[in-house]
Amino acid sequence: MTVRYQLTIDCADTQTMADFWAAALHYVVAPPPDGFATWDDWYRSVGVPEEELGLGDDRILDPDGEGPAIWFQVVPEAKTIKNRWHLDVGASGGRSTPLEVRRERVEAEADRLAALGATRVRVVSEEGTDHYAVAMLDPEGNEFDIN
């Protein structure tokens, strides 16, 4: 039996990360639980201190219900080392799509995400291989690839 899970990403600015990743993944900001006008109202109901509230949107969802929920958790320390794992954002159409078309789609997506605040790091491709990707950093420096 499969299990449901939520991806939690440590960050300094929940609103920036929620906005970026919602746009990057075509997700939406998660609405507060039933019976609550805001997430801060819900957090208060479970005892979260006032000084930890008002940080902005911190949860996003796949509007189709297929991908995992993502929660952005504020932590005091900044990112200091390379991620031990990262997201691969699939934009190319897969291996059944000709390499040149995949390359164009990946580049278009890299341009779109750069306009949203990502930083391009490098192209991941070697002559003679059937692979093309762009390595990038999100607004807080977390690595991800577009392929």
The domain limits of the chain are 6-74, 87-146
Q: Which two tokens stand for residue 35?
A: 């019976």
Q: Residue 32 carries which DSSP code?
A: P
The pLDDT assigned to 128 comes to 81
Contact 119, 110 (CB under 8 A): no
pLDDT of residue 79: 84
Query: Check: CATH 3.30.420.40 for 87-146?
Result: no
Average the pLDDT over 91-106 and give the result: 95
- Res 76: pLDDT: 87
Q: Is 140 within 8 Å of 12 (Cβ atoms)?
A: yes
Position 131 scores a pLDDT of 92
pLDDT greater than 90 at residue 27: yes
**In this prediction, what percent of the chain has a pLDDT beyond 90?**
80
Residue 141 is predicted with a pLDDT of: 94
What local confidence, expressed as pLDDT, does residue 9 receive?
A: 93
Q: How far is CA 127 from CA 29, 60, 117, in A?
A: 40, 38, 29
Does the pLDDT at position 122 exceed 90?
yes
- Nearest C-alpha neighbor of 144 from the set 46, 25, 42: 25
The rounded distance, in Å, linking the Cα atoms of 41 and 19 is 21
Position 84 scores a pLDDT of 83
**Average pLDDT of the chain to the nearest whole number:** 93
